[in-house]
Amino acid sequence: MTNPRLLILFAACFFSWSALAQQSLNTNLVATFTDPTPAANNRYNDVWGYVDAQGREYAIFGTRVSSLFVDITNPANPTLVTEITNGSSTTWRDYKTYKNYAYSICDSCNEGMYVYDLSNLPSSVSVVRTIKTEFVRSHNIYIDEAEGRLYVVGVPNSKPNPSGSGSLPYSVDLVVYDIAADPANPRLIAEIDFDKIIDPSSTSDFFYIHDLYVQHNIIYASHGYTGYFIWDANNLNNISLIADADYGGYNHSSWISECGGYAYVAEEVPTGLPLQVVDLERLRNGQSSNIAQVQDNLETVPPSETQSTVHNPYVKGDLLYISYYEDGLKVYDIRNPANPVLHAYYDTYSDNNNSYSGYAGAWGTYPFLPSGNILISDITYGLSIVTVEDFDCDGFNHVLFNETQSQNERYASKVATYNNASISANVSSKYTAQKCIELNPNFEVKLGAQVLFTIESCGN
């Protein structure tokens, strides 16, 4: 019998390719925003989002010289709350938030880490601390909110000298702070040299981390040309290697599917490498793990020329959001997590014409706002706010876990069951953080069992 889901995926693939000449697919532009007082030759970098206690939404994004805090509660009318000039001129800035605080770092700079108090929004934002003890520059930060840990990566091989003169050698790949107890005053809890973990006698420096994703003290680290590594950091004094692989390029960043089975891995150098879909169980078992490569160019280019370059991936529910440089924002349907299918895009950078030159266009995206509005930061054109259209009804039943989801999350955190599934006996399922469930295609639930989820029937 023909699987109807395969027919749906085929149709989606055909439609996405037939629409590539458009600037957008299944997206709607709500508004744009640029720095009202830009410095000469200013450019933009990363973006993050924040929601205050009243439910007001904000975009936090960077320019070469400053950090912009923008009220987007009315997304059609973004309003600048404040612009904080950070002190250095740099291409790279990154942001994360935790409770009522935001944190920023930059690379090729001397700012250290800024800590911002957001509790007075929408009126103001204040800098409550700058940290320069361990580093003055870094490439990125990540916050594991469940554990209250802030991770800093891409630090230089020297640190500031407390005496104020010169610098000291600093062979560290990862700096970890506790922010759970006092978010305004991060407390240093670990400085990690991964070369020493692999070989205590090593004097090498192969394990620079470009970016990372952390969940419940498990680190998914992009170690550049060294590869993609998973580390167990439950005990920061005894970190152990779980698995690793090399996918051939400069391993830039990754994000994990919500059920934890797959990683979506970006390799940034050389230009034009596809997104890697990594089966994490196969990776942990030492098997070949990059089970698919995804490359959907919005421009028409022959295979022999440079293809589009992926930058930063993020997962929310059944959608994979990627800031894709010259292709802007791309959104993939990952209801089948091993086979991403292009669902939507919004091209923020129309300067390229049937070619890709490299690292221009969309730097970052943020898909986690409760409103469903998606933030995109373009290096040249600043902030765009877009919406992404929902999936069409696919004819399957869906297991739902949050009946108060917004319209754009209608099918988030679900599993599609096949049409011949029944509910009578022999449950076979796996749960992850009470958020995900994996069911055999012909699952059954015993009569009288307590069912903690609802079944939504989607019929054409």
Query: What is the rounded distance in angstroms from the CA atom of residue 334 to the CA atom of residue 275?
Result: 13
Question: What is the per-residue pLDDT across 319-329, written as a single tens digit (0 to 9) for each?
Answer: 999 999 999 99
| pLDDT value at 397 more than 90 | no
What would the pLDDT profile of 206-224 be if each residue is shown by its tens digit? 999 999 999 999 999 999 9
CB under 8 Å to 370, separation ≥6 — which residues? 51, 55, 57, 406
Binned at pLDDT 50, 70 and 90, residue 314 comes out as very high
Residues 6+ apart with CB under 8 A from 232: 217, 218, 219, 239, 240, 241, 242
Q: Which amino acid type is present at position 352?
A: N
Contacts of 339 (CB under 8 A, 6+ apart): 9, 277, 292
Is pLDDT of 452 > 70?
Answer: no
| All structural domains of the chain | 4-388 (2.130.10.10), 397-457 (no CATH)
- Beta carbons within 10 angstroms of residue 42's beta carbon: 16
| Count of beta carbons in the 10 Å neighbourhood of residue 329 | 27
What mean pLDDT is predicted for residues 38-44?
Answer: 87
Transcribe 122-177 into DSSP letters. TT--EEEEEE-SS-S--SEEEEETTTTEEEEE---SEEE-TTSSSEEE---SEEEE
Weakest-pLDDT range from 190-194, 202-206, 243-247, 341-345: 202-206
The per-residue pLDDT for range 415-426, each reduced to its tens digit, is 333 333 333 333
Mean residue pLDDT of the chain comes to: 84
Distance CA 59, CA 80 (A): 9
Contact criterion met (CB below 8 Å) for 153 and 141: yes
Q: What is the pLDDT of residue 438?
A: 52
Side-chain half-sphere exposure of 360, counting CA atoms within 13 A: 12
Q: Is 13 helix (H, G, I), strand (E, B) or coil?
A: helix
Return the amino acid letter for 20: L
Q: At 315, is the pLDDT very low, low, confident or very high (cuts 50, 70, 90)?
A: very high
Residue 424: the pLDDT is: 37
Phi, psi of 443 (to 5 degrees): -75, 155
* Joined tokens for residue 162: 């407390």
Nearest to 174 by CA among 192, 198, 200: 192
Tokens of 208: 């620079």
Q: Is the pLDDT of residue 294 over 60?
A: yes
Res. 93 pLDDT band, cuts 50 70 90: very high
**pLDDT tens-place string over residues 6-40:** 222 222 333 333 334 469 999 999 999 999 988 87
